[in-house]
Amino acid sequence: MIPELGHFALILAALVALIQGVLPLTGTMLRDPQQQVVLQSLARPTAALQCVLVAFAFGALATSFLSNDFSVSYVAQHSNSLLPKAYQFAAVWGGHEGSLLLWVLLLAVWTLAVALFSRSLPLDMVARVIGVLGLISVGFLLFILTTSNPFERLLPAALDGRDLNPLLQDPGLVIHPPMLYMGYVGMSVAFAFAVAALLSGRLDAAWARWSRPWTVIAWTFLTFGIGLGSWWAYYELGWGGWWFWDPVENASLMPWLVGTALIHSLMVTEKRGSFKAWTVLLAIAAFSLSLLGTFLVRSGVLTSVHAFASDPKRGVFVLIFLAVVVGSSLTLFAWRAPRVTLGGRMGLVSRESFLLANSVLLVVATAAVLLGTIYPLIIDALNLGKLSVGPPYFNAVFAPLLVPTVFLMIPGSVARWRDAKVREIAHDLRWTALAALVLAVALPFVLGGWSFGAAFGLFLGCWGALGTLQQVLDRVRKPGRIGASFWGQHVAHLGMAVLVIGITGVKRYEVERDVRMQVGDVVTIAPYTFRLDSFSDVRGPNYKAVRADVQVLRNAELIEVLQPEKRRYFSSAMPMTEAGIDSGFMRDLYVSLGEPLNDARTEWSMRVYYKPFVPWLWGGTLLMVLGGVLAALDRRYRKFTQRVNT
């Protein structure tokens, strides 16, 4: 009964979304002010109603999972009675249909948030934004109802489910999709604002000020989601890799890059009224890339470890949806953008031009990632053969593009608005430059060996960190209140610098030992010693495992006992590795079990890693997330009291 109710709720939600999408927008195009207000006022209530209905449907699916209702096909495919309750809930988004329902739910939640926190917006803008969001919701709801219904029944019901993919039975992977989707879906709000601005012809600084907090919040979630995915891959896959340039990873990176460019570009539009057309285009691009990502992951067009099971029907639907949404918004852009006014004056060297350079660099970087991701597809489509584009390409092309972007972070935030002088900026930054140079040259010797690559990466990171520190100190010395967005900006920049140092450190100074170990054997990576103490058999709720106890000593003193496992889940033939990791501030010590090397299973292949600076990867990401939160909390966004008269 409950699944049917859930299904029904989705149908109703689609109808409500249709009303939400069509009527308020129509209201903005009518002439009679009375009619206008009537229709536009429908925006908020319909948004609320849609959210309630979708939440009900989601609840229905979750209930089916938690009550082990294996007569629902989707539940039978992704759950199991032995699965721990927390994972039974997370299994709701463990497959294609359920993850789409999560997407639609989050879209409805964001829409409701816009409805609630938009008191200072004129009604017609609210109508347009919520209207556009409604149309997007209609598309996704139709997609679910026609091709990906999670409530389909399985008759006769299965006795037990197939179990959630063991790779997904992990806390990191439980919050990774929701956070990521919050980011993807959040970009639709920036998109809706952009389209609303184009439709109304009101493309100005006020629009930028409205858009910015929503964009920052979406970006923050996206950063967190990508970081979580990376962290999960690091500890789950057994050999400590954290970024593979897999198409699905690229699909999340591209909206992030454009989102970053968008935030910076919005600053200029808000402050000086400039770059309006470019900013609007970025907003359209960010969400378009989110949609493109959805397509790439679910259509089977690219091979990826991440891809959901693909179905050509689904691919076609998403492609058509993508074509309609992005095609119409770009057409609207081409029509309306030329009428946009130019905004303030700026010098060739000024904060504005630095921010524009930031945009350009990030967009080119995004183009490079996009090109690399779909190039095999293009070549195949042109019947020119089959080739692969993998990490060697992306590493070679992406890094040189990101280096100037990170470098320019500092002079860009030092430069004055409107007009700045290179000489002045250089003068202001001379100590930072010197200190960064000294550290870059000296640190590699201390860390394990000099190489130009290490020095270069360290220079960039130290430049970013020290430059940020300098600006903070400069500002703190001055009188006056410091807003949260100031802290947000610099904490985020610091996070980026920390991330760069982390990447440099782990790439250049990582040590790996691939060894065969019996009880009593040691591996030495000075000053650490890893000693294998014992093997034991353990049993979990839905798996059996072999666990190794590995003592980690530094200079003969015990730091930690690591317990890597090799698990065999009852539902899957593939064994899973759980690495044993000891995390410190400056390094991770990482041990993973390989295969047994003799029948008695007393000797195993094992991998022991010393990974310096890995925690800085996560630390840097978290700092960026913190920066985003701080920026969004700035007081000027929290003033809901002013109502603007239409």
Partner 1 sequence: MKKVLIPLILFLGLVVFLAIGLQRDPREIPSPLLNKPAPEFSLSTLEGDEKFSPAQMQGKVWMFNVWATWCVACREEHPVLVAFAQKHNVPIVGLSYKEIQPQDEAAKASPEVKLQVARERSVVWLKSHGNPYVTSVMDLDGRVGIHYGVYGVPETYIIDKQGVIRYKRVGVVTPELLADKILPLINELNKS
Partner 2 sequence: MKQLFVRGVMRLCAVLLAGGSVSFGVYAQPAAPTAAVQVPLMSSTPAVREAAPMAEDPQIEARLVDISQELRCLVCQNESLASSHAELADDLRREVRDLIRQGKTDQEIKDFLVARYGDFVLYRPEVKPLTWVLWFGPFVLLLVAAVFLGVYLRQRRQQLAPAVLSDEERARAQQWLKG
Q: Find which of partner 2, partner 1, none residue 281 binds, CB within 5 to 8 Å per kind.
A: partner 1
DSSP state of 10: H
**Most distant CA pair in the chain: distance in Å?**
86
Query: Least distance to partner 2 from the beta carbon of 511, Å?
Result: 5
Q: How far apart are CA 287 and CA 465, in angstroms?
A: 31
Instruction: Select from 209-217, 311-319, 349-357, 419-427 the region that touches partner 1 (CB under 8 A).
Output: 311-319
Q: Find which of partner 2, partner 1, none residue 323 binds, CB within 5 to 8 Å per kind.
A: partner 1
Q: How far apart are CA 15 and CA 419, in angstroms?
A: 53
Scan for tokens 């992977």, then name that residue. 173
Query: Least distance to partner 1 from the beta carbon of 503, Å?
Result: 29
Q: Find which of partner 1, partner 2, none residue 326 binds, CB within 5 to 8 Å per kind.
A: partner 1
Cis status, amide bond into 575, omega within 30 of 0 = no
Closest CA to 215 of 271, 287, 269: 287
Scan for tokens 């770059």, then name that residue. 275
Query: Least distance to partner 2 from the beta carbon of 310, Å?
Result: 11
Q: How far apart are CA 284 and CA 328, in angstroms?
A: 11
Q: Find which of partner 1, partner 2, none residue 562 binds, CB within 5 to 8 Å per kind.
A: none
Query: Least distance to partner 1 from the beta carbon of 51, Å?
Result: 31
Q: What's the one-letter identity of residue 519?
A: V
Q: Is 187 in the site for partner 1 (CB under 8 A)?
A: no
Query: Least distance to partner 2 from the beta carbon of 401, Å?
Result: 7
Q: Is 378 in the site for partner 1 (CB under 8 A)?
A: yes
Q: Is 300 in the site for partner 1 (CB under 8 A)?
A: yes
CB count within 10 Å of CB 536 equals 12
Query: Least distance to partner 1 from the beta carbon of 128, Å?
Result: 21
Residues 254-293 that bind partner 1 (CB under 8 A): 277, 281, 284-285, 288
Query: Least distance to partner 2 from the beta carbon of 413, Å?
Result: 16
Cis status, amide bond into 527, omega within 30 of 0 = yes
Q: Find which of partner 1, partner 2, none residue 295 binds, CB within 5 to 8 Å per kind.
A: partner 1
Q: Find which of partner 2, partner 1, none residue 447 binds, CB within 5 to 8 Å per kind.
A: partner 2
Q: Is 303 in the site for partner 1 (CB under 8 A)?
A: yes
Q: Find which of partner 2, partner 1, none residue 559 binds, CB within 5 to 8 Å per kind.
A: none
Q: Find which of partner 1, partner 2, none residue 391 binds, CB within 5 to 8 Å per kind.
A: partner 2
Query: Least distance to partner 2 from the beta carbon of 274, Å?
Result: 8
Q: Find which of partner 2, partner 1, none residue 523 binds, CB within 5 to 8 Å per kind.
A: partner 2
Query: How many alpha carbons fall within 13 Å on the CB side of residue 489?
Result: 19
Q: How far apart are CA 95 and CA 80, in angstroms?
A: 14
Instruction: Look up residue 311 and give its two tokens.
Output: 């179905």
3-state secondary structure of 591: strand
Query: Least distance to partner 1 from the beta carbon of 566, Å?
Result: 16
The one among 80, 88, 274, 299 contacting partner 1 by CB under 8 A: 299
Q: How far apart are CA 615 and CA 499, in angstroms?
A: 9
Q: Find which of partner 1, partner 2, none residue 363 binds, CB within 5 to 8 Å per kind.
A: partner 2
Beta strand 543-554 pairing with 557-562: antiparallel
User: Contacts with partner 1: how many residues (CB under 8 A)?
Assistant: 33
Q: Which is nearer to partner 2, 152 or 380 (CB)?
A: 380
Query: Least distance to partner 1 from the beta carbon of 157, Å?
Result: 28
Angle of helix 123-147 relative to helix 43-66, nearest 10 degrees?
30
Q: How far apart are CA 209 and CA 642, in angstroms?
A: 14
Q: Is 302 in the site for partner 1 (CB under 8 A)?
A: yes
Instruction: Select from 140-148, 308-316, 540-548, 623-631 the region that touches partner 1 (CB under 8 A).
Output: 308-316
| 379-408 footprint of partner 1 as x/- string (CB under 8 A) | -xx---xx----------------------
Q: What's the one-letter identity of residue 353?
A: S
Q: What are the phi and psi torsion angles at 175 (to 5°)?
A: -95, -15
Q: What are the phi and psi torsion angles at 295 (to 5°)?
A: -65, -50
Q: What are the phi and psi torsion angles at 25 (to 5°)?
A: -65, -40
Q: Is 37 in the site for partner 1 (CB under 8 A)?
A: no
Q: Are 496 and 410 in contact (CB under 8 A)?
A: no
Q: Find which of partner 1, partner 2, none residue 632 binds, CB within 5 to 8 Å per kind.
A: none
Query: Least distance to partner 2 from the beta carbon of 627, Å?
Result: 21
Q: How far apart are CA 247 and CA 229, in angstroms?
A: 14
Integer-rounded Cα Rg, in Å, for the chain is 26
Q: Is 621 in the site for partner 1 (CB under 8 A)?
A: no
Q: How far apart are CA 592 and CA 437, in angstroms?
A: 38
Residues 327-346 that bind partner 1 (CB under 8 A): 327, 330-331, 333-334, 337-338
The one among 30, 142, 175, 322 contacting partner 1 by CB under 8 A: 322
Q: Which is nearer to partner 2, 529 or 571 (CB)?
A: 529
Q: Find which of partner 2, partner 1, none residue 377 binds, CB within 5 to 8 Å per kind.
A: partner 1
Q: How far apart are CA 220 and CA 182, in angstroms?
A: 9
Q: Which is nearer to partner 1, 380 or 533 (CB)?
A: 380
The one among 150, 225, 376, 411 contacting partner 1 by CB under 8 A: 376
Q: Find which of partner 2, partner 1, none residue 481 binds, CB within 5 to 8 Å per kind.
A: none
Q: Which is nearer to partner 1, 379 or 397 (CB)?
A: 379
3-state secondary structure of 573: coil
Element (H, E) at 475: helix 452-477
- Checking 320-327 for CB contacts under 8 A at 24+ apart, the result is 321/139, 321/140, 321/143, 321/291, 322/288, 322/291, 322/292, 322/294, 322/295, 324/139, 325/136, 325/139, 325/288, 325/291, 326/284, 326/288, 326/291
Contacts with partner 1 by CB under 8 A lie at 277, 281, 284-285, 288, 295, 299-303, 312, 315-316, 319, 322-323, 326-327, 330-331, 333-334, 337-338, 374, 376-378, 380-381, 385-386
